[in-house]
Amino acid sequence: MTVFRAGSTGAWWMYLVAGHLLLGVYYLIPVSPAGTTGQTVRVALYCTISASAAIATFAGVKRNRPQWRRPWVFLALSQVVYAIADLTFYASHYIFDHKDYPSYADIFYLGHYPLMVAGVILLIRRRTPGLDLPSLLDAAVLAVVAGMASWLYVIGPQARLTSPVLAKIASLGFPMMDLALFVVALRLIFGAGPRPRAFVLLTCNLLGILTADTIYVLQRLDGSYHAGNFLDAIWLSANLCMGAAALHPTMARLVDRAHVKDVGLSRGRIIALCSAALAAPVLMLVHDVGQSSQDVLVIAGGSALLSLLIIARLAGLVADQRKLAITDSLTGLHTRRFFEAQLPLEISRARRSDGSVAVFIIDVDRFKSINDNYGHPAGDDVLMEVAARLRAASRSGEVLARYGGEEFALLVPDAGPGRLSVIANRLRERVAEKPIPVNAGNDDIPLSVTVSVGSASFPTHGDGPDDIVVIADRALYAAKAAGRNRIAVGPEPLPAVDPDTDGAMAEFLCQVADRVDGWLHRYDHSRSVSRWAGVAAGEFGLDAPTIRITQLAGRLHDIGKVIIPEVVLTKPGALSEEEWRLLRQHPDFGYRLARMVPGFAGVAHVIRQQHERYDGAGYPDGLRGADIRSEARILSVCVAWAAMRSNRPHQTALDENRARRELWAGRGEQFDPDVVDMFLDLHAQGSIGMLRPSGLSIQEAGFPADFRPQ
């Protein structure tokens, strides 16, 4: 038999195909009397396929090296016990013609369940630490339904049989063990966490085993079971899915911790829960058909109606909550968070269809003077009216959002560069067409309100969401600098840092970075990251302004941690889920701090994206691939290298060889593979040095020579 490398891309697929081909051969061998050559070959094939799942699972664990192996070890051991059970049963049944029930094989069949349940529970605890109450409740609802059905049609009938004690124990043991496995399988499926191909294969294994076992027990009850029927195909296919799941390169991601969020009621979940709510009256009607009274019919109908009404009410409540979550309470427009979630989707859609997407940033001119002169209620009136006029000027399919205090943003699909000026002027003119009445004391005062508009489009002005927003933001600054009540389109040259006004602010952020370094490291962590990022950006072929943005983002990448309590940052043990949730916000905190410095918008976006993953499983925005800025993809590798090579409160430093292996293992998943290759080459050449002690000058950190605090 051909031996495949466990970690190779196609090993899992070839294993599945080869296994199912052998399964087909198994069914082609005719069933013949015990002891014949054909039956011996049939048993050998069955046991080979069954045992291969255990071997493949261990091979996958060894090759793919998940960070936490214990769940997979339990799953592999369960496959070993299962293979022993198969060998015992089929050798006894076919070769020795022993067909007693229960048999020694049933001891092993029952024994594999606790190992499998333990493995799945460990996966759940690793993937979704904490309670994750919504997923737990959803799984519990369906588990109760499964328990009722199992009692009515499987467990109850078995319990009422007058069979020998051992036979009754075995007959009850299988459905009860299946029910336990069903409960943990539901919890795994409904829980948060990554769902790569290996997750799908593992789920197929669990559902396949449960399906075949249930049919097996029902066939035992009605006496129709015979060895070698179609159930063998389901059992063996499920085992092959387990082996393929372990061989698949994404199996290592199944133990990645999830950022647990309240799981919303999707349409699929609502249908599943609705079906579960109706299960009780349906089972009662089916079970009592022919002997039920009118009372039973009324109760069943009333229960069904009540369940539907409750679920409809909950669905409406969920819809209202979702609307509130994405709607600004003052203006009724979408929120900035919704806008930032839609923009990458529209750009991805435009990239697939060779289309375009335009972004407009609209700012109310001299809004502060309105608040100062007429009060905040008057300012709110202005914002509501401006929002209404912008809504009237936008069209179906466009996304209009309140982007900040007095800032709005409009997302227009299929708008090329030639339409930007037309759309921007339409927005500006609609706001300025007539005064806005505001209440000042007892009088309504008409205020002439204008807006400035900056715009940019994909792919003409940028290749990703952040590029487009930064360029539109720069255009907005240019429109305001030109006298307000203006529009500007596309990139406008602005200095990276204005030394006359921004030096003190940027120098303060550098001091913040040093303060965080002092909490967490014995080295100049951020300065070293800045140095490596600059070297890598130059080698990557970025231009001089982009290299400077990369260096500045490296210097300031940890400033958001200053908002996080020091006790959390320096905690020596494992962090709680709430502490992890807080820590994961530091890129957004850093982004907001850096945006305080005019001209630092690009730097701020790189800081925000430093923990995005190439495969889309990062945070805070779940960007993937080329949607992540190239500077952030470079910074991500530099930050990871610095983290692995330094002692931290919860982890000791790795040696260079181990750190290189970890970077290599993250190629294509956590990191851009091209950046990893380049970084490792630079390290081999000696261009990526050690973490330095303190004392670098600000010029070494990437700031201009005339950059000094006021």
Q: How far apart are CA 693 and CA 507, in angstroms?
A: 20
Which of these is catalytic: 385, 406, 492, 631?
406
> What confidence score (pLDDT) does residue 400 get?
94
Of the listed ranges 71-80, 138-147, 165-174, 321-330, the one predicted with least confidence? 138-147
Residues 374 and 446 sit within 8 Å (Cβ to Cβ)? no
Average pLDDT over residues 147-171: 64
Paired tokens of 196: 């790569």
Q: What is the structure's pLDDT at 708? A: 33
Q: What is the mean pLDDT of residues 261-269?
A: 54
| Residue 103 clears pLDDT 90, i.e. is over it | no
Average pLDDT over residues 436-458: 84
Q: What percent of the chain has pLDDT over 70?
A: 74
CA distance 205 to 240: 8
- Model confidence at 483: pLDDT above 60: yes
pLDDT of residue 277: 64
pLDDT in tens, 162-204: 666 676 676 677 777 777 787 788 778 877 777 888 999 999 9
**Burial class (CB within 10 angstroms; exposed 0-12, middle 13-18, buried 19+) of 330:** exposed
Cβ atoms of 590 and 560 within 8 Å: the answer is yes
Mean pLDDT of all residues in 402-421: 89
Of the chain, the percentage scoring pLDDT greater than 90 comes to 22
Question: Which whole number is the average pLDDT over 385-395?
Answer: 93
> How far is 103 from 288, CA to CA, in rounded Å?
36
CA separation, residue 259 to residues 76, 469, 575 (Å):
27, 26, 13
Between the two ends of the chain, the Cα-to-Cα distance in Å is 75
Digit-coded pLDDT (tens) for 46-73: 889 989 999 999 999 888 888 788 888 9
Residue 406 falls in the annotated catalytic set: yes
| 102 or 332: which leads in pLDDT | 332
Between these two residues, 599 and 670, which has the higher pLDDT value? 670
Measured between alpha carbons, how far is 251 from 253 in angstroms, rounded to an integer?
5
Do 76 and 55 meet the contact criterion of CB atoms below 8 Å apart?
Answer: no
**Tokens matching residue 163:** 């069979």
Is the pTM value of this prediction over 0.75? no
**Dihedral over alpha carbons 95, 96, 101, 106 (to 10 degrees):** -60
How far is the CA of 642 from the CAs of 411, 437, 674, 708, in angstroms?
A: 38, 57, 19, 28
- For 482, phi and psi rounded to 5 degrees? -80, 0
Is the pLDDT reported for residue 5 higher than 80?
A: no
pLDDT interval class at 710 (50, 70, 90): very low
CA distances for 331 relative to 83, 370, 410, 485, 498, angstroms: 64, 17, 14, 22, 34
User: Is the predicted pLDDT of residue 497 greater than 60, yes or no?
Assistant: no
Residue 429: pLDDT above 90?
A: yes
Residue 279: which pLDDT band, with cuts at 50, 70 and 90?
low
**Cα separation, 680 vs 661, whole angstroms:** 10
- Whole-number Cα distances in Å, 546 to 259, 608, 680: 31, 16, 21
Q: Look over the chain and give the mean of its residue pLDDT values, rounded to a whole number.
A: 79
- How much is the pLDDT for 424? 93
Residue 44 binned pLDDT confidence (cut-offs 50, 70, 90):
confident
The single-letter code of the amino acid at 567 is V
Of the listed ranges 178-182, 267-271, 425-429, the least confidently predicted one is: 267-271
Quickly tell me which residue has 């608040």 as its tokens.
Answer: 371
What are the backbone dihedrals phi and psi of residue 32, each rounded to the nearest 5 degrees, phi first? Answer: -140, 170
pLDDT band at 703 (very low <50, low <70, confident <90, very high): very low
For the residues 316-345, what does the mean pLDDT come to?
80
